[in-house]
Structure 1
C-alpha cells in the first residue's frame, strides 16, 4: 500500500520511518494514523504523525533497527521454541491491548512482525482493510496474507479478535515450522483459501511440546481459542492448554415448532460495563459505596443459587411467550424457550452459572465485576458473559430453533443479561426454593468419583483435579490426555436415537458409549444415575421423564481416533459407578 523510507526528523534529531501512500491508498494511511495514535504499547510500532504534502499523504512512525520475522525465517530457517515463545508472548500482549481498545489488527503475519537483535518484537502495519472487503475484490490483493488467515475469515466472515489470535498462532507456526499452515501458496492463492476455509492446517512436525499451544491458538472454532491475554500466559508460563467448556445445546432440547423466518425485533436497554473480578472465589462485598452486601455476587453459597430465578421473564415477553424448563443440562443451568410473537418459531436462551476463569483475559481487580464479554457468534448462536465481583461467572447464550435463524438472537441474550445485572445490583441472586433429592448428583462431588490411582494410571502421573462450579464437573489434565467427569440432566437416553453410541451396562447402570465428534480424539461414556419425574412442568412436546447422567470422557491429542479411547473410557466409567451413591 505504500513506499517506505528511513528518514531523519530534523527538528527532534531522531530517525523515523516515512510511508507514502500509493494512489488510492491515502485513506488507508489516514486510518492507520488514527488507529496508531490511540496505541502506546511497547510491542506496537509507534505512530508519530501524518503529513499531507499536496496530493501525497505521509505516515511518520518509529524507526526500528530490526528485521521482519519473515526475513529471519527465510534467511536462517525455523526458530527454536524458546525464541518463538518470547516473540509470541510480546505479540500476544500487543494484541491484548489492541483488543481491549476495540481494535482488530486483521493482518498478523510474519511480514508484519519486526524483531530486533535482542528479540524485542513489534507489530506494524495497523488498520489494513478488512478481509471481507478485500476478498470481494479478489485478485492479487489477496496474495501475501492468505497463509495466516483464520478459517472463518477465509469463509467470508468478519475478522475479529479471535481471528487475530488465530493469525498469531499461524505466525508462530511459521516461525517454528518454516512454512505457513495453509501451504506455501505455490499452487495458487485460491488453494490456500480452500484449505483455510476448511480449517485443517498441515500437522506440525518440529513443534514438539509447543504443538498443543499452536493447536489452541489455531482452533477451528473462534470460541475455542484463548483470548490474546490468555495466550500471553500460555506462551510465557508454559501453562497447560486450557480445555474449553463444551457449548453444545443438544438438538433434542430444541422444540420443532418453527415454520417461517422471523422479522428482526428491536429491544432497548443499556448494559452496564463495570471493571473486573477477584480470583479467590470468595464474596468480595459491595462494589460501590452504599451497595447492598453481596451485590454483584452469587452470595455465600454460589451452588445454591437458582439459575432460573436469575432470569426476568419480562425481559423476554417483548419477543414472544417464554417458557422456563429448569430440568435440563447441568444443575447450574436454566433454559428458557421463547415462542416468537408471530408464532413462526422459537428461540432458546440458556443461562449458565460457572466458576472463575482458569485463564482470565485481563488481570483481575479485587471486588470488581468484569466488563460484559461479546464473543464472536458461532454455531448460529449469540453469547454474552460477565465475571462477577466474587469471580464466578454468568454466561447467557441464545440459539434459534428450526427456521428461526433470522431472529435477533443477540437481543435475547442482551436483554436477559440486562435483567440479571439489575437483580445483581440489589444483592446476591435468589437461592433455590426446593432442595435437591438425597440421591441427586447435585449432592455429589464429581472429583470424588475417580480415585488418584485410576486417574494417574490413565494420565501417566498424579495430577490435581480442576473442580467445576458446584463440584458438578471435574477435569484432570496431563499432556496429551485429559479426563473429564460432568453431570447433566437429559430425557431418557437409552432409546433416544439422537444419542449415538452402543447401549451397554456399567455395573448396575444403563450407559451409552461413543466417540465424541469434532475436536481432538475423545470417547465418552454416559452413565444413567437415576430416572425421575420433574416437580415442575417441562417444555411442551418433550418427554415428561428425566434422567440424571454422569458423563466420563478421555481425550488424547495423539490418539488415532476416538474409538481407540473407548476401552479406557469404559474402565473409567466402571470406577465411577462404584463411587456413585
Structure 2
C-alpha cells in the first residue's frame, strides 16, 4: 500500500504554502490553514486521506472550479498534486453550532436562504452537490453562510460512484438516493430541508444511530413531526416530500426563506483578497469545511500607546497616501533611507535602505483589501507576523474598515535581519494609524491610470472572447486599479492592472502598437502559462528626474503554453487601451 508522509506545522507545500494549523479532518481529507508566501494571505489546504485517485480528486476540483458564488467557498489552486487550495473563511461548521442546541427558526431561515442561493447557482450549471448537511455549511461572522465540499458532486448524468457505492450522508439523504437512484437537484433540496430540520429541531429527520438503521428510515422517508420549526414547518414539509417532483426548486426555497428571514440580508461579501496575480489556469480545487480562523497576532509597538482611533483611517482608497505610513526616520538605524512613491503600483510606497551591499534593502508599505474581512474590532490594529521566507519578511496590520496594511522587508542575501527591519517599520505604521485618518495624496496627473477604473476598460462585447466569461462578478483590487474576469467553463482568465516601470524595450516582449500606444507582448511559459501585454500610458520623470513609464498590464492565463494566449492578450489590450484617458 502506498502511504503519504506525515506533514507538520511549518512544512512548505509546493515551495509556497507554509502549513500553520490542522483545522480538522473529515471523510474527504485533512484541512490545514496555510500562509501563501507568494500572495501574502491565509488559505485553506485540503489533503486527501491516502493517495487521491485521479478520478475522485480531479472530479472534486473540476466541479468546484465551475462555481463562482458568494455562498460557495472560492476556489484557488491545486498543487503537488494531492493538495487542494481554497478560500480560508473564519467560521464554524453548522454541525458544531447545532451541537450546542437547536437554533431559532429565524436564524435557520437566514442561513438556509444563503445555501439555497448557492445551490441555485450550482444547479444552473448542472452540478448536484449530493452531500448537503450541517457539516458542509460554514457560518461566519454576521451569519454569513457558505456551502463547502463538492467532493462527491456529479453532473446530472452520473448515478453512483465509480465502485457502485451510494455516496452521501444517510441522515440527510433523499429517499430516492437512499434507494440507489441518481442524485438530482431535487435530492439536494431534500438534503437542505433535512439540514434545516436538524438545525431547528435539534436532530436530523431520520434520527441517529447505526448507519444501516438510519439508511433504512431514509429509504422509507420516515420523518417525525416538527415541534419547533414554527414558520419553517410548511416549507420544510414540502422540501422533505418523499416524491422528488413535489419538492420546490432551490430558487423557490431561497425566496420563501428570505420572506421568513424578513429584512435581514447577508453580510456583503468583498472580493477575494489577492496582492499578486493567481493564475486561473491552475484553478482545479474543491471546497472543504474550515472550522476556525487561526491567526498569530501580536502588538509590536512598545511603551504607552495613543488612544486607539475609532474613525475610518483609510477613507477613500484612491486618495489615501501610503507614504504616510512609511516610517523613513525610524528605519535610518539600518542605513541611509530614501522614499520612493513609484516603486510599485499606486497602492504602495517604498523606503529604500542603502546597507552598503549593492542593491538597496526594500521596505514596502502597501494598502490592500482585508484578508479576513470583519475580523477586527473598531479602533484595534492587530498585527499578523510571518516568518522569514525567500529573503522577505512580512507583517500585516488589520484595519477594522475592511483594509490591510502589508509591510514587507526584502533583499537578496541581506546583511541585516529583515524581520527586525519589518518590525521597526510596522511600529512606525502603527503609531501613524493610531493618530487617525491618513492624509490624502497629491492629485494624480490628468492622464494618470490612477484616475481610471480597471474594471471599466473591458465591456461585455470585448469580454466575449473569453469563453464562458463571468462579466458580472470580476475580482476587484484595491482602489479599482486591478480587475480580473474568469471563465465559468474552463480555467482561462484575463486580468488588467496598473503599474510603474522603467522605460520598456524588447526585453519586455515583442514591440507592437495598440490603440495608438506602444505595447509589448510576452509569453511566460515557465510557471504562469500566461501571456502579458504591457501598454504604455504615459512617460514621466521620477523624483530624481529619471524617466519612468506608467503602464497597463493585460494578463491572459489558462491551460497550455503562454504563447497560446498572446493573440487574446493583444486583443484585450487593444480594447482596453481604446478606453484609456
Q: CA RMSD in A?
A: 4.5
Please state how far the C-alpha of 1:485 moved relative to its aligned partner: 0.6
Tell me, yes or no, if the aligned pair for 1:387 and 1:394 is still in contact at 8 Å.
yes
Tell me, yes or no, if the aligned pair for 1:219 and 1:225 is still in contact at 8 Å.
no
Once residues 321 and 270 of structure 2 are traced to their aligned partners in structure 1, the CA distance between those partners, rounded to angstroms, is 32
| 1:521 is aligned to 2:529 | yes
1:393-412 residue CA offsets vs partner (Å, 9 max, x unmatched) = 211111114x42x4211112
**Aligned pairs, how many?**
362
Tell me, yes or no, if the aligned pair for 2:375 and 2:400 is still in contact at 8 Å.
no
Tell me, yes or no, if the aligned pair for 2:334 and 2:416 is still in contact at 8 Å.
no
Q: Give 2:544's aligned residue.
A: 537
Please state how far the C-alpha of 1:491 moved relative to its aligned partner: 1.4
| 1:209 is aligned to 2:73 | no
> Are the structure 2 counterparts of residues 518 and 371 from structure 1 closer, same or farther at C-alpha, using a change threshold of 3 Å?
farther
> Are the structure 2 counterparts of residues 205 and 412 from structure 1 closer, same or farther at C-alpha, using a change threshold of 3 Å?
same
Which of 367, 378, 384 is equivalent to 1:367?
A: 378
Q: Give 1:303's aligned residue.
A: 318
1:452-495 residue CA offsets vs partner (Å, 9 max, x unmatched) = 22224314243322322222111212342222110001111125
Once residues 512 and 375 of structure 2 are traced to their aligned partners in structure 1, the CA distance between those partners, rounded to angstroms, is 46
Tell me, yes or no, if the aligned pair for 1:554 and 1:568 is still in contact at 8 Å.
yes
Once residues 30 and 567 of structure 2 are traced to their aligned partners in structure 1, the CA distance between those partners, rounded to angstroms, is 48
> Are the structure 2 counterparts of residues 104 and 350 from structure 1 closer, same or farther at C-alpha, using a change threshold of 3 Å?
closer
| 1:314 is aligned to 2:329 | yes
Q: Give 2:228's aligned residue.
A: none
Once residues 146 and 80 of structure 2 are traced to their aligned partners in structure 1, the CA distance between those partners, rounded to angstroms, is 15
TM-score normalised over the length of structure 2: 0.53
> Are the structure 2 counterparts of residues 241 and 375 from structure 1 closer, same or farther at C-alpha, using a change threshold of 3 Å?
farther
Question: Secondary structure of the equivalent of 2:512?
Answer: strand
Q: Give 1:435's aligned residue.
A: 443
Once residues 381 and 429 of structure 1 are traced to their aligned partners in structure 2, the CA distance between those partners, rounded to angstroms, is 26
Which of 275, 285, 301 is equivalent to 1:245?
A: 275
Structure 1 runs not aligned, ≥5 long:
1-69, 75-101, 124-147, 180-202, 249-268, 274-287, 539-543
Q: Give 1:492's aligned residue.
A: 503
Q: Give 1:481's aligned residue.
A: 492
Q: Give 1:271's aligned residue.
A: 300
Tell me, yes or no, if the aligned pair for 1:177 and 1:207 is still in contact at 8 Å.
no
> Are the structure 2 counterparts of residues 245 and 292 from structure 1 closer, same or farther at C-alpha, using a change threshold of 3 Å?
closer
Once residues 324 and 350 of structure 1 are traced to their aligned partners in structure 2, the CA distance between those partners, rounded to angstroms, is 10
Q: Give 1:170's aligned residue.
A: 47
Please state how far the C-alpha of 1:503 moved relative to its aligned partner: 1.3
Please state how far the C-alpha of 1:373 moved relative to its aligned partner: 2.0
Q: Give 1:547's aligned residue.
A: 549
Answer 1 or 2: higher relative contact order, Cα 8 Å, separation at least 6. 2
1:132-173 residue CA offsets vs partner (Å, 9 max, x unmatched) = xxxxxxxxxxxxxxxx9x999xxxx9xxx97x954xx33269
Q: Give 2:222's aligned residue.
A: none
Q: Give 2:452's aligned residue.
A: 444
> Are the structure 2 counterparts of residues 368 and 555 from structure 1 closer, same or farther at C-alpha, using a change threshold of 3 Å?
farther
Once residues 171 and 304 of structure 1 are traced to their aligned partners in structure 2, the CA distance between those partners, rounded to angstroms, is 46
Tell me, yes or no, if the aligned pair for 1:204 and 1:211 is still in contact at 8 Å.
no
> Are the structure 2 counterparts of residues 335 and 151 from structure 1 closer, same or farther at C-alpha, using a change threshold of 3 Å?
closer
> Are the structure 2 counterparts of residues 225 and 369 from structure 1 closer, same or farther at C-alpha, using a change threshold of 3 Å?
farther
Question: Secondary structure of the equivalent of 2:557?
Answer: strand
| 1:218 is aligned to 2:218 | no
Tell me, yes or no, if the aligned pair for 2:554 and 2:572 is still in contact at 8 Å.
yes
Q: Give 1:44's aligned residue.
A: none
Once residues 503 and 571 of structure 1 are traced to their aligned partners in structure 2, the CA distance between those partners, rounded to angstroms, is 14
Tell me, yes or no, if the aligned pair for 2:341 and 2:348 is still in contact at 8 Å.
yes
Once residues 113 and 210 of structure 1 are traced to their aligned partners in structure 2, the CA distance between those partners, rounded to angstroms, is 19
Question: Secondary structure of the equivalent of 1:313?
Answer: coil
Once residues 366 and 323 of structure 1 are traced to their aligned partners in structure 2, the CA distance between those partners, rounded to angstroms, is 34
| 1:350 is aligned to 2:227 | no
> Are the structure 2 counterparts of residues 516 and 452 from structure 1 closer, same or farther at C-alpha, using a change threshold of 3 Å?
same
Once residues 235 and 308 of structure 1 are traced to their aligned partners in structure 2, the CA distance between those partners, rounded to angstroms, is 40
1:351-405 residue CA offsets vs partner (Å, 9 max, x unmatched) = 1112234xx2x7535535463223454432111112212111211111114x42x
Q: Give 1:468's aligned residue.
A: 477
Once residues 370 and 555 of structure 1 are traced to their aligned partners in structure 2, the CA distance between those partners, rounded to angstroms, is 36
> Are the structure 2 counterparts of residues 305 and 206 from structure 1 closer, same or farther at C-alpha, using a change threshold of 3 Å?
closer
